[in-house]
Amino acid sequence: KSHAEEDRKARELAEAKNQLDGLKLQARKTLDEATGASDDDKKPVEDAINAAQQALDSGSDKDALEARGRELAEMLQAFMQANAQQSSGGSDAGAADGPTGPSDDDDVVDAEFKPAS
């Protein structure tokens, strides 16, 4: 029974390492592709990538690896949102263009189409 428990823990640790390593690679790729982002914008993600690598190198336990993964995911998400806003001209760009929902255009006709037989 103890071998099964050891195997389960080893598998969970390996899965946590693989997940963190994959997230780290995704974050690195995202930073590399974000050519318009400044170094200041990239720094929090870079720091989280470095912390993730340190956790991987030190052979941290599953909980520590998962914590680094959550931290990296949060930093990456914040970076991607900020980068998307910058590339679209800021967060207020859509609001200045008028309503974005359905409009009351008079030339829109709601009808069913039946092909001619």
Confidence of residue 42 (pLDDT cuts 50, 70, 90): very high
Q: What is the DSSP letter of 85?
A: H
pLDDT of residue 83: 85
Residue 25 Ramachandran class (φ > 0 left, ψ -120 to 50 alpha, else beta): alpha
* Mean of pLDDT values over 19-30: 96
Q: What ranges do the domains of the chain cover?
A: 2-89
pLDDT of residue 102: 52
pLDDT tens across 56-101, in order? Answer: 999 879 999 999 999 999 999 999 998 887 777 654 444 444 445 5
pLDDT of residue 95: 47
pLDDT of residue 108: 57
CATH architecture of 2-89: Up-down Bundle (1.20)
Tokens representing 46? 């870079």
- pLDDT higher for 2 or 104? 2
- Whether the CB-CB separation of 74 and 46 falls below 8 Å is answered with no
